[in-house]
Structure 1
């Protein structure tokens, strides 16, 4: 049995399914551990050791024994978890801790990162080498690169309260955003991941940052002015080579943004002695602020009250959210999460007839099972183009390779490009509201009395406004005084 096949058999999805039962454990009564509870804990420990034995047997090539050890250990763990809810004094946290430990153990095995689909053995050589142009190009097995400055990324992500709460958010309220990020990233991966790879940074970290920052929308702009898939502020972007080139803001370029982000994270990791949480906090809340708070003590925990309590609510949420998204990137099926299979192989089309990105979106429809259409993908891959601007014949556009044949069959001839062009050329009439008609008579005079206000005088007039009267009398700040003679427009409707 090849290692890749064996690796898939070691997925922790069965374990995750069994541990769903642990929710009932919290309802177990009693605080003193009974003999039954100790027996459950013993069974838990044996199951954990059985999993380690299965890994070792797999490494030694004894596939049959390894598979049986794995089955026995997982069955034992699920049985113990199921009995926890009916056993007074059972501590469900111990079961979750084993679940977390097995995931971390898995990250250190030869099939680390195999939660995600691997490419076939016939992947092009340039893809394995990670060279541009290789299809979806880069083998998914490269997702197993989880080292951060010599540390396993899984060792740096503590399963504490904030990270667990963020995991719940990603799996519930933010789930659609996480899946959107995954889909968007797959089509930009060949541009973004090599930039992180060059900097020896884990791909899961790139995904986590993008999931929280933009959901993979290249043209995202925040209210504070941060822009692009990784949300660089203008001044910070300039520091890392993101600027305006031929009128295009390179913060919106996926490859350039990933390069700058990798350089920024490299800088902050050096400044904070490889403390990932502090580096992420600096990315979100500002490196100057973080350095002042840390005051040289780079070994301090992000969750130390002296640090944590001084941060904005946004930054306190941001750091665990990024780490949780990175963890789910590595272990999706262990949390009952199934990312869709995406063929992100890059391709190009040469326009045979003038078309905008919007028109191409219409004529491509839901091809290749993209129910939401291809607008976002086309925009992300061609960030320099206004989606409404028609591109001339001969223009080359980046598209997923699977759309090359779709373009040829749907967007060159036939009814769809005609329909798309007709819809795109539609003109919406501009509505101009006519000003109310009124007949203005010669100006009248009014002597200001004690207690008068300009607003009150205008209300009496009934057909003017404060600005008009103020301008007519050259008033400063709409101030009037008793005895002052004002010129007023007398009018009738």
Structure 2
């Protein structure tokens, strides 16, 4: 097996040389009163140099075609640094920041340096080997390769500044939001075959898609925010309409994973062009509005999002949003390096044809926790069949989308036997309804509002208190494309 040395490989050699220089600096401290370092401190600092040399060895192994050995060598050097950093904390005179800096560099160098290493424009026609049925291109690549898709010629990790806000977000994802991160990952695995090809088409990295999904909805296809943003990637109605998300036969396509991912990828691609490939500004525009970001940035698209001229002028929500998306993307790339283990799931798509009438809720009951799914399959079945009411029984012969492993489970558990009978009995249970002995005074179910100059449907809904959504008000008033006219009297749901 031959290995083609790419431009990136040559750059990596120079970066390794820089790391060796860092190691040399680490062993010679600069103090007002020079103190000879202890033997234990010298030994710890020497491990920085060893880690750098190990990486150079890994490059040589890669050029020789032994990618498995190269990956093993790299992992060994990273683990060595982690162990040394742990001992640094209890060794007098040791500066842990030296270890963390090299550790961060090694993680960045790891991204795509061995597996699928290519410079922009190189042929990737052999990358689809082993594709799943119905998948093509980057969507069929092994996860390690898909994760490092280039963003405008740069590895995604090169564009993530490991600063205070990102580190704080990493801690949140690894602690208080850890269960949310895991749920988002599980939901994404079963939606990947629908969403990832849309990002591939725009040449965007999978980790970025996951970061946005994790922050926006956690992978819940039917999520709706208080402001009316809807779907797995939380599009406002007007923005979604601009990218082709509309009502189709009574179904809001913002809730369609494929369509939502397509629109999101096109939006990100559009804003990257506007902001000269500045990913942080692009994410800020997605959260806080592209018009506001363009006014703040002006002609200086090289400005950092964290520059006070920008950072101090955006909302606290946007200040949090950008590093939180980037931190989730970073963890998607480097889970093991942060003591994080995502579950191994088979997200291959499949389908079932109902042999008896059943709703999504009934199927969830009869499938139980099959295939090691402790939380059950309700969310996954809803995500994969977004147009269906989960409580509405579907007829015999209806086709539902499911993960491939559930095809056999359905045939075994949900066609005959006690489980579908139990599920049907629970689903059709009758709950007695009695009138309230002291009925409350009925409130007017609607209020009326006269449209004024400068009003939009979005601003009217927000001013009304956020207790309804744009789509709800549009349906109540038979509005086309959410367009309102000055003097028009709108019916709004009562907030009481």
Q: Distance in 1 between matches of 2:336 and 2:281?
A: 29
More displaced 10-residue stretch of structure 1: 387-396 or 31-40: 31-40
User: How is 1:87-486 mapped onto 2 (pairs within 5 angstroms)?
Assistant: 87-111=91-115, 123-124=130-131, 129-130=136-137, 139-435=142-438
1:35 alignment partner in structure 2 = 36
User: 1:86 aligns to what SS in structure 2?
Assistant: coil
User: How far is the alpha carbon of 1:300 from its aligned partner?
Assistant: 0.6
User: How far is the alpha carbon of 1:333 from its aligned partner?
Assistant: 0.8
Q: Distance in 2 between matches of 1:309 and 1:87?
A: 40
* Counterpart contact for 1:344–1:401, Cα < 8 Å: yes
* Counterpart contact for 1:54–1:67, Cα < 8 Å: no
User: 2:405 aligns to what SS in structure 1?
Assistant: helix
Cα RMSD (Å) of the superposition?
A: 2.9
1:439 alignment partner in structure 2 = none
User: How far is the alpha carbon of 1:92 from its aligned partner?
Assistant: 1.4
- In the superposition, the TM-score normalised over structure 1's length comes to 0.75
Which has the higher Rg, Structure 1 or Structure 2? 1
Aligned residue pairs, count: 400
Distance 1:279 1:59, change over 3 A: same
Distance 1:56 1:414, change over 3 A: same
User: 1:255 aligns to what SS in structure 2?
Assistant: helix
User: 1:235 aligns to what SS in structure 2?
Assistant: helix
Distance 1:32 1:313, change over 3 A: farther
Q: Distance in 1 between matches of 2:76 and 2:185?
A: 34
* Counterpart contact for 1:47–1:74, Cα < 8 Å: no
User: Which gives a bigger RCO, structure 1 or 2 (Cα 8 Å, sep 6+)?
Assistant: 1
* Counterpart contact for 2:47–2:80, Cα < 8 Å: yes
User: 2:371 aligns to what SS in structure 1?
Assistant: helix
Q: Distance in 1 between matches of 2:364 and 2:34?
A: 62
User: How far is the alpha carbon of 1:93 from its aligned partner?
Assistant: 1.5
- In the superposition, the TM-score normalised over structure 2's length comes to 0.75
User: 1:398 aligns to what SS in structure 2?
Assistant: strand
Structure 1 runs not aligned, ≥5 long: 4-29, 114-120, 437-493
Distance 1:284 1:365, change over 3 A: same
Distance 1:76 1:363, change over 3 A: closer
User: How far is the alpha carbon of 1:319 from its aligned partner?
Assistant: 0.3
More displaced 10-residue stretch of structure 1: 89-98 or 240-249: 89-98
Q: Deviations over 1:147-185 (max 9, x none)?
A: 101111111001100001111111111111111111001
Q: Deviations over 1:451-477 (max 9, x none)?
A: xxxxxxxxxxxxxxxxxxxxxxxxxxx
Q: Deviations over 1:35-56 (max 9, x none)?
A: 3277367414412321322222
Q: Distance in 1 between matches of 2:270 and 2:436?
A: 56
Q: Distance in 2 between matches of 1:209 and 1:424?
A: 35
Q: Distance in 2 between matches of 1:65 and 1:146?
A: 23
User: How far is the alpha carbon of 1:186 from its aligned partner?
Assistant: 0.6
Q: Distance in 2 between matches of 1:189 and 1:71?
A: 27
Is 1:85 paired with 2:89? yes
Q: Deviations over 1:35-78 (max 9, x none)?
A: 32773674144123213222222213385996896688567645
Distance 1:2 1:227, change over 3 A: farther
Distance 1:2 1:185, change over 3 A: farther
